[in-house]
Structure 1
Amino acid sequence: MKRLDGKVAVVTGAAQGIGAAYAIGLAAQGAKVVVADIADTASVVAQIAAQGGRAIGCKVDVTNNESLNAMVSQTEALFGPIEILINNAAIFATLALKPFTQITEDEWDLVMRVNVRGPFQCAKAIVPSMRKNGRGKIINIASGTFLRGAPMFCHYVSSKGAIVGQTRALAAELGADNILVNCILVGLTESEGVKEHKQLGAAKAPTLAARLIKREMVPEDLLGTLYYLASADSDFITGQCVNVDGGAINY
């Protein structure tokens, strides 16, 4: 029996990169997966099907309640109530590194709307479905940039710090419902977005030098922690952050 057999999982921002790895991995562990993204999800859904898994793709704007509610209704009709939410959707790879004095208020607001308000709205939309199950796992995705206060990325770093706070606040509110809320702090990972980001190349050498595990981090390095937090193995853990970065930062 697989660790997540029969579980229904939603992964936002799952059309590519780390989100796609999450979706494919959860399906491999037996979950019925909703591949949610504003971009085309067909490729990821096809990969899951080719491996014998079950998945549907949903075009979802995480900042639009109508879009989120439609996804929940479709999911419940096809798979049943949702038990796992991976709040992965965020603006990251399209952001240019720049001094905070050059970040416009409109850019700041966009990052906060997607990276902070998005997970908040996703939780609001999906928690009623989890309550039908009598249990749930919300896994928020933050970043190691919050731990070290990475420069030239003030809006992104601030948004991921807010996710840590949101994780703790939701855990406190939802514990009585047996809905557990935890967070993964992700180190610099060789996703498509990072590989294509010209400015991030300069960060790779010092990041690798700081790691105790001397190699590049790939999306699959996050899957063991994801499975643990999504499964019954972590049924007495909530409000916590797990730092996955090869030992670069002690936390």
Structure 2
Amino acid sequence: MDLLKTAIISSLEAGEIIMKIYNSNFIVNIKEDTSPVTEADKLADNYIAQKLSIFNLPIISEEGKIESYQKRKYWKTFWLVDPLDGTKEFVNKNGEFTVNIALIENKIPILGVVYIPVTRMLYFASNETGARKYFINSVNLSADQIISNATLLLDEPCTGKLKIGVSRSHLDAYTEQLIEKCRTIFNEIEICTAGSSVKFCFLADNSIHLYGRGNYTNEWDTAAGDAIIRFAGKSMITNDGKPFLYNKPELKNTGFIAGNSLLLKTICDGQ
């Protein structure tokens, strides 16, 4: 439980660092891959890495040094972090960015924390707690208080309108094809647009039923949200139906689809 407690407090405190910069006149730089980065990304990354270092586990972070696969392939357990997921949303000041912290064991996320600093909503999951969410209404809450008072998230199958989560900044051809396929299967669908891992949070608390993406994410973008939806009773698979795994030779993800297992089967079978 110490791993989860530390991840929770780290995400909240990193969120405070991020919000101070969010409410200022910050500078946006462009990385080699043409994605934006700000001081908030870097300061939050440094803070989280410092907090997690007490466990002496390797850390893979979007903003940190990434070890070669020749070294990583021997890692059984490690942290996978995106200190500010949704930097484009941060820059556009729409509030849809998150702090993502996941623990991976044997290529599977076994713990996940996603914090949305603007709305102060915290989502987390582990074997001990299941998937839960909590509104952070005080800066003085302990991890024990949060865990004991958080709302348990359980899967609720879609019984009416199918709500599909779509990326605000990265609508791709795969997602468009998925939407069109769903139109042929379901009587009514609704498109729900959101940025970063907010979509995983919406999926975990049943605000949406389905979320799919093409080949435009990295492992740190999905790991924490993946953990939360898994413990909420949902599934995430590659867009060709294979298990979704982490610590691959390349840390870029293939396309994926996430939702209730029966729903995924219905869509994959096309009926």
TM-score where L is the length of structure 2? 0.26
Answer 1 or 2: which has greater strand percent.
2
Answer 1 or 2: which has greater helix percent.
1
TM-score where L is the length of structure 1? 0.28
